[in-house]
Amino acid sequence: MLFLGSLSAPPAGSWPWNTVQIIGFLLVLGRLAVLEDSSLTVWATALSLVPVFVYTPQANAWGAALLLVAIAALGDIVSRRRRTKALLAEREELTELERARRAVLEERTRIAREMHDVVAHHMSMIAVRAETAPYRIGELPAPARDELATIATAAREALVDMRRLLGVLRAEEGEAPRAPQPGFAQVDEPIATARGAGLDVRADLTPPHLPETVSLAAY
């Protein structure tokens, strides 16, 4: 704009540009300083000073140069403030997300601690009492001993599952251990458990090839 605007300037004029050209260039320079990085603003201002000193009389060149530098500096200050506010807002958002994440982890840890202190303790006592009942009570019939042994085994399996669940609750996000979900191929396990509890369960199983969701539903 500065170079092209000087092509049609009158030779005796105090300025090689008209008022519209000067205001338009100052607006462009100020807008550039507000939106772009400081390095680009410095280069644009420095290069803009070249035609000012080349085409403008010395009496006016220094005043015009001072005006360009002032506008560029003010625009750069506005740009820095805008970027600082954006960074502060981004950090504040990250801080809020971290606080929410911390709150979730603390709540999960609290739940895991209560489950460990209360539920796991009672399950352990069930297993211990079922296993020691034949020695504490004395003579028991064989079916009663088998039933107590089944109860103790089920309690220990429940403890293993609970420890796995507690590990998931205590783990950081993305660190939770993952095990494959059971499917139709493992349906013999709950059948055996039910039979061990004394239920008359009959099964005629021919495991087909099922989708994972259907296989889990069947299990």
CA-to-CA distance for 101 and 173, rounded, in angstroms?
A: 9
How many angstroms separate the CA atoms of 68 and 31, rounded? 12
Instruction: Please answer whether residues 15 and 56 qualify as being in contact, where contact means their C-beta atoms are separated by less than 8 angstroms.
Output: yes
In angstroms, the CA 52 to CA 55 distance is: 6
What is the per-residue pLDDT for 115? 76
Spell out the long-range contacts of 83-92 with Cβ–Cβ below 8 A and sequence spacing 24 or more.
none
- pTM across the whole model: 0.39
Quick one: DSSP state of residue 118?
Answer: I
Contact 130, 155 (CB under 8 A): yes
**Helical packing angle, 142-170 and 58-114, nearest 10°:** 170
How confident is the prediction along the chain (219 residues), in pLDDT tens digits per residue?
Answer: 666 666 666 655 566 677 777 788 888 888 888 888 888 888 888 888 887 777 776 667 787 888 888 888 888 888 888 888 888 888 888 888 888 888 888 887 888 787 777 777 788 888 888 888 888 887 778 888 888 888 888 888 888 887 777 777 777 655 555 566 778 888 888 888 778 777 888 888 876 788 777 887 887
| C-beta separation of 32 from 41 below 8 A | yes
Cα-trace Rg, the chain:
40
CA distances for 179 relative to 43, 110, 164, angstroms: 59, 23, 10
